[in-house]
A and B are shown apart, each in its own frame.
Chain A
């Protein structure tokens, strides 16, 4: 079936089947991001705790998640675990695998964000009688946000694309839907170009959202005064372009340590 078929391309472009796949990609990314942030926050706090046990658990988690490919993690969860009696369906496996993986990377961003808040802020909050959770919620995380939002945004950008890996465990997100459509329609190029366009649209829209978020969180925190010197733990990696590749975001993560 040689040649480019504009008609087919047009049909795929508005195909409900592919759009559903794109929607799955979006909600999967959002849910994973939320779960990943929670996991990442817990891991970051454990990693910074004085207890060697908590610290050990956090470090072990990061070591496993960042030391093995996501693909392997997903296959172990979906295909391997049933062998020992743990049966998760496709959606559960995808959510678990992606969230665990994402949480590990996000925890390093969160940790760098928390470390960027000057020690005097912790002292002042404690001196007012705040306990750790209040201190984090009211004082530290809002200040850390300014440092964290750009890399977190880039991470979400990467995540939108990374979800395509779950196609290997037959999660019906955009890529998988594309593959399935090809099996009936045999129009590889048209279908994959449509899928690629969908990804581009999602990434571009996210880039716009990200720029707004960065503007918002950069707003109230006026420039550091002479007495609020900030350490430079986290590089200001956000250019708002929202076009970092998965490799770039992994590398950026590396710099954060």
Chain B
């Protein structure tokens, strides 16, 4: 099995994994994130819900600097993501340094985005070999453990096109885990799947949360939210409108928007 969730050397376990303050993001004139603030503690599982277009994907993509911020800041494990602070001003990091920071943050996409020219095993070892400069044998040994963990030990040499959607997504999770991230981001990981494949992916995610992985999950699978989420956050029009522990969130939503949204997705 996987080694326990890694802690960045020199950081204390009470250091939040994510600290976001007043995050703003524009696409042209479209104001997509309108002052988002959040804190995620080590080992927490956050489920992020909200209507389509509310900015959930954009927020996740800001957390690993796939998108630049226009205002505010995001710290991951205490370090400003994508930026360096010089005399109180932020300067964007060079591409190589951003790449280094991203090693700590795994991401799983709605469309899987497996590398189609590589086998399942090669997808999983791509990061360790080409980013962490690990030896091939070492990377493959770890990849086989991960294949075991996601329940696909016999698919090492299959190409993505030969795998079902659910299998592809489980390989994608293994690929992200191979970097030993401290934080895992999931952007609607089951939305592109046929219903019968959703559970196999959610099961892997549940297993991961049991192992203490820090996770931010955008999903409308409320079963998963109830089972795994420490907190549920409702996002609407670029703001975090409401957050609560799972039980409380469903039983007793405070805002009208949240209630409306829940009534739509719970039936």
Contact = CB atoms under 8 A, between A and B. Distances in A.
B107 interface: yes
Contacts of B127: 128-130
A130 B126 CA distance: 9
A211 B106 CA distance: 40
A224 B175 CA distance: 20
A228 B105 contact: no
B175 A227 contact: no
A128 to B, nearest CB: 4
Interface range for A: 20 to 34
A208 B61 CA distance: 46
Q: Residue among B102, B116, B159 with the most chain A CB within 10 A?
A: B116
Contacts of B168: 225, 227
B130 A138 contact: yes
B146 to A, nearest CB: 14
A119 B5 CA distance: 30
Contacts of B102: 126-129
B116 A129 contact: no
A121 B99 contact: no
Contacts, number: 90
A222 interface: yes
A220 interface: yes
A228 B115 CA distance: 9
Nearest to A230: B116
A160 to B, nearest CB: 29
Interface in B98-136: 99-103, 105-107, 109, 111-117, 126-127, 130-131
Given A128-B175, A222-B159, A222-B161, A123 B66 contact: yes
A131 interface: yes
Interface in B39-88: 61, 64, 66
B162 interface: yes
Contacts of A2: none
Given A124-B109, A127-B106, A129-B103, A222 B116 contact: yes
B95 interface: yes
A15 interface: no
A124 B105 CA distance: 12
A139 interface: yes
Contacts of A126: 66, 99, 102
B179 interface: yes
Given A120-B109, A128-B176, A228 B160 contact: yes
A142 B122 CA distance: 14
A228 B116 CA distance: 8
B161 A130 contact: no
Contacts of A225: 116, 160-161, 168
A143 B114 CA distance: 12
Contacts of A139: 115, 126
A223 interface: yes
A228 B109 CA distance: 12
Interface string B2-37: 000000000000000000000000000000000000
19 contacts: A120-B109, A120-B113, A123-B61, A124-B115, A124-B175, A126-B102, A127-B107, A127-B176, A128-B102, A129-B99, A131-B96, A139-B126, A142-B117, A221-B116, A222-B116, A224-B116, A225-B116, A225-B160, A228-B116
Leading 7 A-B pairs by shortest Cβ distance: A222-B161, A124-B113, A129-B103, A120-B113, A127-B107, A128-B127, A131-B99
Given A121-B115, A130-B127, A222-B162, 16 more contacts: A120-B109, A120-B111, A123-B109, A123-B113, A124-B109, A126-B102, A128-B103, A129-B102, A129-B103, A129-B127, A131-B95, A131-B96, A143-B117, A221-B117, A223-B161, A225-B116
Interface of B: 61, 64, 66, 95-96, 99-103, 105-107, 109, 111-117, 126-127, 130-131, 159-162, 165, 168, 172, 175-176, 179, 192
